[in-house]
Structure 1
């Protein structure tokens, strides 16, 4: 019978990340956001000690930039020193954000920390009571991009009870993120690993149970694109059965609430709509950066947005929050959805110009869309207006542009048909 093993699988810490928000934040709230990745890491260390794990795995992107801040490095070192005092080992690989050649002056870490330092897949043996119990395999990014299929280089070595693969990369068919170190799930299963500790994708996901192939997601959301609980997985194998339990680590979450506003006929009713949205997330019992979507089938909301009523009500409602507490709800952004008088699914089927337009837009991959838009975002007169836009804001702008185009062409088609 194999010895039992218990470890924590984490990834994508992005320590010392900057946070972009839609509006002005009180200083105390801004400080909480900036401290959140450090706090989430501290909870990660606490969890390792509390659950008396054998070791901690961090699969890539410990830091947010290749030039690692000294503050972040020292904070991580102190956390790893706490683990060292408790006899807990740490296994680290670097990813596309904190690649090896980007760090000019890394500080020394305690000797319980084992780092994969090259793009060649290698392994570290983990010993328990003097016996090799596991081989932990991995590699680090030497530069920002790894396009090679690294999965083929993972090969079981020796007779250890457990073979664990650390891989910072993505499924080859992924269209939502940059695809680095691509793989298929079938390829992972064929390499003979007992557990795959993945990183790079910030949404936690179990790709397979046998063997476990798992993304833990990042430990702290940094935009509304990274919504919901964030944390790590406590993983254990006892008597030959794998168990994995999600442990939340975040300081706050990003959430979205949708409020139907077709009945609103006066801007003073916006206060109630905003409060209703906040009530939707109160049950989470955690601090929340909230994006509210107001949905309507008339143009009142857009008029109130243009005249400043919505922004003013947001400011008034936010002023009632105690941002010094541990359970605040801050309205970060308000979006408006005018229900289109058209069905996109039906239009996609149509043999007309609008249908062809929508099909063309739908067929564009993320990289192709970025290439098309690059002249706009790099234009010397436009750059100062668009360089600070987040990916989420760019996607929102593209979605709004699509809506405007469709409505423009549909109105033209109707005029021609009349």
Structure 2
């Protein structure tokens, strides 16, 4: 049996709000999902497993119609779909009245149920969220009804507020594959047996690394599953090293050089690190407005010449403070206290 596995598409999310590319990123997420459907049309998997949070919030009726139109393009593939903690089923949710195409099986309840597919010798178990949080370990006590079948569990969660579960316990109970979602960083939880799909596309700058979809073949004795990247966007956290001689233009040049050498689909959160001239101020707002730069922060220490400052301010409070601190035992705590005190007395920003 051949399957595709995706999760956490978050249709409707608008990443990087306020940035020039925000609308494009929102459209890219829709386009990536549509491209998954085209891949399914070409590859003809028996199942497309979607492990929750297809939408970023309650889907609009027109959004569900778009999705239903896409699902209808792959009638040869059974689509198994659940609501996650972001698009959980509310009282007035259009999930409750949606007329799905014949190939779509939607889990309507907040208790584990299953769909059985005798032709593929497969049973798929799952549930939908009806609440934003579910703290009970609902998956851990589920047992397949027929262990002769290929038994798959769609599971959305994995942390203490969203259905915590034990992969080992679920597999011991007789499941052949766990198709998990919720954690945006994907990977195999147990080789060939359990996969956290991760987000199809990153939804904010903390979703670093490669994202994409999974495809596999499974029978009662073996499962091969492989990851395929989608690269419309990839967020990277990068450090830019600063020395006391570094100027604002130097930092600007370093960031522009980084942008020039890296692929156009990469977006960056930059952190300035190192030591700076205390009199130099970097314009983080200006740097943040560079193309493909999501944010710029700094973790910089002032490069004080304490002997010079002591000579220049010998008869002042600053000089007295430096002299007193230098007489103390020199350890990291004392060094930090000296730096903070000098920064405060000079009116400089304190770097924590």
**Counterpart in 2 of 1:394?**
none
Question: Is contact 2:231–2:265 with CA below 8 Å preserved after alignment?
Answer: no
| Deviation by residue 1:133-169 (Cα, 9 ceiling, x = unmatched) | 1010111112222111112342111254311111111
Are 1:259 and 1:277, in contact at CA under 8 Å, matched by a contact in 2? no
Q: Is the 8 A contact 1:258 1:277 kept in 2?
A: no
Larger radius of gyration: 2
- Hey, what does 2:247 align to over in structure 1? 266
Deviation at 1:270, TM superposition (A): 2.3
Report if aligned partners of 1:230, 1:249 keep a CA contact under 8 Å in 2: yes
Alignment of structure 1 residues 3-22 onto 2, 5 Å: 5-21=1-17
- Structure 2 spans left out of the alignment, 5+ residues: 304-334, 342-352
1:126 corresponds to 2:122: no
Find the counterpart in structure 1 of residue 93 from structure 2: 104
After superposition, what is the alpha-carbon deviation per residue over 1:235-263, rounded to whole angstroms, capped at 9, x for unaligned?
11269331111122342121122121216
- Paired positions, count: 308
1:288 deviates by 2.2
1:251 aligns with 2:232: yes
1:25 partnered with 2:13: no
Alignment of 1:73-88 (within 5 A): 73-84=64-75, 87-88=76-77
Which of 259, 277, 291 matches 2:258?
Answer: 277
1:178-225 Cα distance to aligned partner (Å, 9 max, x none) = x31112233222221000011111110211126x11101011112111
Show CA shifts across 1:393-415 (max 9, x none). xxxxxxxxxxxxx9569967xxx
Q: Match of 2:143, SS? A: coil
| Structure 2 Cα separation of the partners of residues 244 and 339 of structure 1 | 47
Unpaired stretches in structure 1, ≥5 consecutive residues: 173-178, 319-329, 342-405, 413-418
Runs of 4+ residues over 3 Å off in structure 1: 310-315, 406-412
Over 3 Å counting, the alpha-carbon distance change for 1:299 and 1:204 in structure 2 is farther
| Bigger proportion of residues as helix | 1
TM-score norm. by structure 1 comes to 0.67
Aligned residue number for residue 345 of structure 2: none
- Answer yes or no: is the 8 Å Cα contact 1:154–1:165 preserved in 2: no
Query: 1:213: which partner in 2?
Result: 194
Q: Which residue of 2 aligns with 1:51?
A: 43
Report if aligned partners of 1:257, 1:290 keep a CA contact under 8 Å in 2.
yes
State the distance in 2 between where 1:156 and 1:192 align. Answer: 6
